[in-house]
Chain A
Amino acid sequence: MGSLLGDWPSYDPHNFSQLRPADPSAQPSKLTPATYHPTHNRTLPPPNQVISTEARNILLRHFYQKSEEKLPPKRAASDHPTSEHNCKQPRAAYADGAH
């Protein structure tokens, strides 16, 4: 199975190069990094990055979407008889139509 187990990814060959295994019978260690207590003002995000969920209920949104879907095609049919894809390129569409 050597082929499956070899060639472990290495991002920085130095990482863990000097780490020696602990005595297996040793008591587990306790890492105690310093505790972070921010006192600066950048714990608050920029005002436009305070995110909330859109207020419109999912069901209402669905209704509105449905009604919007129904309405525009009618207008589109009268204004631009071409497909939606062409709507995005009106100049080209007109140009095409001019031929």
Chain B
Amino acid sequence: MSVWNYVVTAQKPTNVTHSCVGNFTSPQELNLIIAKCTRIEIHLLTPHGLQPMLDVPIYGRIATLELFRPHGEPQDFLFIATERYKFCVLQWDAETSELITRAMGDVSDRIGRPTDNGQIGLIDPDCRLIGLHLYDGLFKVIPFDNKGQLKEAFNIRLEELQVLDIKFLYGCLKPTIVVLYQDNKDARHAKTYEIALKDKDFVEGPLSHTNLDNGAGILIPVPMPLGGVIIIGEETIVYCSVSAFKAIPIRPSITRAYGRVDADGSRYLLGDNAGLLHLLVITHERERVTGLKIEHLGETSVASTISYLDNAVVYIGSSYGDSQLIKLNLQPDAKGSYIEVLEKYVNLGPIVDFCVVDLERQGQGQVVTCSGAYKDGSLRIVRNGIGINEQASVELQGIKGLWSLRSSTNDPYDTFLVVSFINETRVLAMNMDDELEESEIEGFCAEAQTLFCQNAIHDQLVQVTANSVRLVSSTTRELLHEWNAPSGYSVNVATANVSQVLLATGGGHLVYLEIGNGKLAEVKHVQLDYEISCLDINPSGENPNYSTLAAVGMWTDISVRIFSLPSLELLAKENLGGEIIPRSVLLCTFEGVSYLLCTLGDGHLLNFLLNLSTGELSNRKKVSLGTQPIMLRTFSSKDTTHVFAASDRPTVIYSSNKKLLYSNVNLKEVSHMCPFNSAAFPDSLAIAKEGELSIGTIDDIQKLHIRTIPLGEHARRICHQEQSRTFAICSLKNCQTSNEETEMHFVRLLDDQTFEFISTYPLDTYEYGCSIISCSFSDDNNAYYCVGTAYVLPEENEPSKGRILVFVVEDGKLQLIAEKETKGAVYSLNAFNGKLLAAINQKIQLYKWMLREDGSRELQAECGHHGHILALYVQTRGDFIVVGDLMKSISLLLYKHEEGAIEELARDYNANWMSAVEILDDDVFLGAENNYNLFTVRKNSDAATDEERGRLEVVGEYHLGEFVNRFRHGSLVMRLPDSEAGHIPTVIFGTINGVIGVVASLPHDQYVFLEKLQANLVKVIKGVGGLSHEQWRSFNNEKKTVDARNFLDGDLIESFLDLSRSRMDEIASSMAVPLEELCKRVEELTRLH
């Protein structure tokens, strides 16, 4: 039963909705603060660019973000208002690097009609009050007292009901707002009001301007000494103040964002809906405005927010494309653009549709999204884990070890690749033609398995075999010295660095050698109680050539011990518990923090903090990486050290913000790995896997990889066809002819490897592609693309005509095989019992695939079901059909084969406006609706009465805070059948803000456990700005607000791993669970996404 669900974010929101610049973190530091719907990010301006400081989750959808400077304060405060009528004022405490709440509150009214044009929040430039326009006909005032403290808020009646924008004017004795509004004849005007704080009322203000541009939408108040306001229309820009009125015509465009450049307000950047950036200049003489000028600068992503930063660098925040950092140049480039893009920041939003595919056929899903809008439309390939891009491979069975060697200490590149087998050692070397060929190092023993080898000081090489340690000159390649194992003993395990060798022979003998010039010296020898299973002397202290610590893993007592070098004194011992022996240990340092990593034979990894001077181990943590023994190796990528854990589920261990992270490597099984950096294969890894040795480069080390395929048009639907190895998309392109804008709609075919358009089918004028699937029909094995369309005519409220088009892919071309006219928009298509199920306006319609006498095929209507407002989203399972309606929530239909009919079984009687539905299992269905909530409903087939059976029972409710456009079954991670997480069914969702999330259906006991953890976490992790987690996650629409149930906030639960050790301990003890166990269970969850 999929009633207990865990919701977690795999990709955080990327849509930038607001931005502002000010001195937030210190009076001297300039910060860019950006809002991504439910998060804010604080950046610092530096010589090297934007430096990210903090990502702050907000328990609300941000409606207003403003920096302001209260009187007498040395730095700015941040005002945030949320869509659910909460606000807070935040201050940065530089001493503790914490965000402090200066004030917060609830600004909701019991009565009031929420504004249609969004919420407006603004702060008086002289810091006398905060103004909010949240409900039609009301303006809310939160006054500041003379000490900068906020006082009780009050409402003022605002006569204008259709408000488009409100701003404070500068330089007014009394706080004065300018209101841009539309009257009931659709004419637009601007007027001003002074706010009389004492009387709590408006007084008519100094300015008023009637019958503005019909597209007037944005007000820009101009600072003193000029004062006044600029009104941005679609065809004109107007400046007006008490003393001046200026207007200029502009090329028709819809301005979406502006940013002030100069503190005196003489220049502004304007961004329009085509992504064009203009500079608006107020010309003035002796504080008198003489005119307006506008200059085209160039093209950016379509801006939702513009912030001038410093030294001609501007931040462009975008909802429809990647956000950008741009530089304004003095001279135009060859294309006439004054804009130079310095950096792009990925934005997946709006995700309108996506599909989950396994392109590399590795059993791991990738998400391909339809992202962005208008000219910034793109496909994004989102993949979890780290890819290896194979450059070369050779078949080699039975590899037991792998090392790379340089031919001299100073050589930047590796020359040799030493491959060890059970009875021999082979040496591969790069030849003059940069090819890898079999070679020889004369001083090495080739007839035995190499246990370890290593470049050593003085241009020497070290090879350890069962019988001896050989020191070889790397220039002459001749044996210089040999240390032989005592007779009767053989070396079992060995390790070395450039100046030290540590090895263990049978009987628990631990031998320590130091490497001299042409000489190996046995320095110390101890006998331990048990056999030694693994060891390491990787230098993690200050001296990169010499380690003062040795890590040793033991059989029998299952422990790991730290010894000092050269004395081999025991410094610390940690019993690992259980019966599984340690198989690999590694001393390493990430971001200045030293760790001991230790892997067990069953695929677990333990990590400890290591005190380099005392050898003490602390903060033990355990994670499960795979099921087979793991071999650990360090490697470098982009000057940072990472650890490769080779096993049945290869993983890269790396550190980010001083926290260890684990990222899957997209390979099935790796037995050994070593870094191999040669001229022909720079920065590569040599990898031994399944009878093969391969060399490849590694992706950037991060968890989620996003690849962008720019389309230059807006993709709205996508689907993949395995048989033809293609994607098909429905897309639309905006075409600008001389003075008219037209839309063209297409069905396009893309190669699933190159993502190039290989075939296009243009749709008719006014015809939109609404749905697309790949399917086959009964008694016809061909794979078809079926496309549902609608004719969207300007004079019709709802489309009354559409088509279903059936294509086959032949020679890489879309061939139209059949088409069927419909009486409305085909919002959804599903393959259903070898037939085609379509949702057409109010109706669900089933089509058969019929063979005509001439051998051609056609779609023939079989049966249908009426009774929806608009059937927008349809999912099927067996004979069951789940419909998500525009207004009428979810209903469940059944197809009856014998009667050839579709009947309604049950419905949810709530009036939810749906945005996506999915079937979780036979009985439970998941829905997303337009107030950003998720809910689950359950079929009541065992109920006693017909009435109850006809009702879908709401079993789970949750406020996601995101508008979900699509659910799809699937997983972003490789699912191992024998891991615990492998059995948890997951659904992926994509949202307008570019969030990719996962809904995981948990077993009941796990749900109960995590619910308890969540309850404990809420007490420890506070909401920023004093906002409440419980209120944030409560299901909320116009009709009701109820506490979340049967959904857990995975983002909160997984933030457990970010807590300090003491906080973790606190929570573990209050839950009466060992901390190691708790960490492991949460770590498991992070591997769901």
Contact = CB atoms under 8 A, between A and B. Distances in A.
Interface of A: 1-2, 4-6, 8-22, 24, 26-46, 48-54, 58, 61-62, 65
Nearest to B261: A9
Interface string B571-588: 000000000000000000
Contacts of A5: 279, 295, 297, 328-330, 338
A51 B657 contact: no
B310 A36 contact: no
A13 to B, nearest CB: 7
14 contacts: A8-B328, A17-B311, A20-B342, A21-B342, A31-B41, A31-B52, A33-B41, A33-B53, A34-B55, A36-B57, A43-B1025, A49-B104, A51-B150, A53-B107
Given A51-B150, A53-B109, A54-B152, 9 more contacts: A15-B46, A15-B309, A17-B311, A18-B47, A20-B342, A35-B54, A44-B1022, A49-B149, A51-B103
Contacts of B656: 32
A41 B96 CA distance: 12
Contacts of B149: 48-49
Interface string B330-352: 10000000101111111100000
A4 B279 contact: yes
A58 B346 contact: no
A78 to B, nearest CB: 24
Contacts of B201: 65
A99 to B, nearest CB: 32
A8 B338 CA distance: 13
A58 B1023 CA distance: 32
Of the listed residues B47, B109, B656, the one surrounded by the most CB atoms of chain A closer than 10 A to its CB is: B47
Contact of A58 (B105, B108, B155): B155
Contacts of A11: 30, 310
Nearest to B1017: A37
A15 B45 contact: yes
Given A40-B1022, A43-B1024, A19 B47 contact: yes
Interface stretch (B410-418, B687-695, B1055-1063): B1055-1063
Contact of A15 (B30, B53, B342, B707): B30
Interface of chain A: mostly helix, strand, loop or mixed: loop
10 shortest interchain CB distances as A-B pairs: A51-B105, A33-B52, A28-B344, A49-B103, A8-B312, A34-B657, A43-B1022, A19-B49, A28-B346, A15-B310
A62 B98 CA distance: 43
A12 B48 contact: no
Given A34-B54, A37-B1021, A21 B49 contact: no
A6 B101 contact: no
A13 B311 contact: yes
Interface string B312-331: 11000000001001011110
B345 A30 contact: yes
A10 B104 CA distance: 34
Given A4-B281, A32-B52, A12 B101 contact: no
Contacts of B98: 38, 40, 42
A38 B311 contact: no
Contacts of B704: 30
Contact of B295 (A1, A13, A38): A1
Contact of A45 (B56, B103, B310, B340): B103
B377 interface: no
B200 interface: yes
A29 B344 CA distance: 6
A19 B341 CA distance: 11
Nearest to B40: A36
Interface residues of B, number: 97
A42 B342 contact: no
Contact of A21 (B262, B338, B341, B1023): B341
A39 B97 CA distance: 12
A16 B1025 contact: no
Contacts of B154: 53-54, 61
Nearest to A10: B311
B157 interface: yes
Contacts of A39: 1020-1022, 1059-1060, 1063
A11 B45 CA distance: 11
B698 interface: no
A29 B345 contact: yes
Interface string B28-46: 0010000000000111011
A42 B88 CA distance: 13
Given A35-B1055, A42-B101, A12 B1026 contact: no
A8 B326 CA distance: 13
Nearest to B1025: A43
Interface string B48-79: 11101111110000000000000000000000
B205 to A, nearest CB: 20
A22 B1024 contact: no
B100 A16 contact: no
Interface in B113-146: 138, 140, 142
Contacts of B43: 31, 33
A16 B140 CA distance: 40
B67 to A, nearest CB: 14
Nearest to A2: B330
B106 interface: yes
B323 to A, nearest CB: 8
Given A16-B47, A22-B343, A44 B57 contact: no
Given A10-B311, A43-B1023, A30 B706 contact: yes
A65 B309 contact: no
A26 B325 CA distance: 14
Contacts of B96: 40
Of the listed residues A14, A40, A51, the one surrounded by the most CB atoms of chain B closer than 10 A to its CB is: A51
A8 B1026 contact: no
A81 to B, nearest CB: 24
Of the listed residues B104, B279, B328, B340, the one surrounded by the most CB atoms of chain A closer than 10 A to its CB is: B104
A11 B488 CA distance: 76
Nearest to A51: B105
Nearest to A27: B708
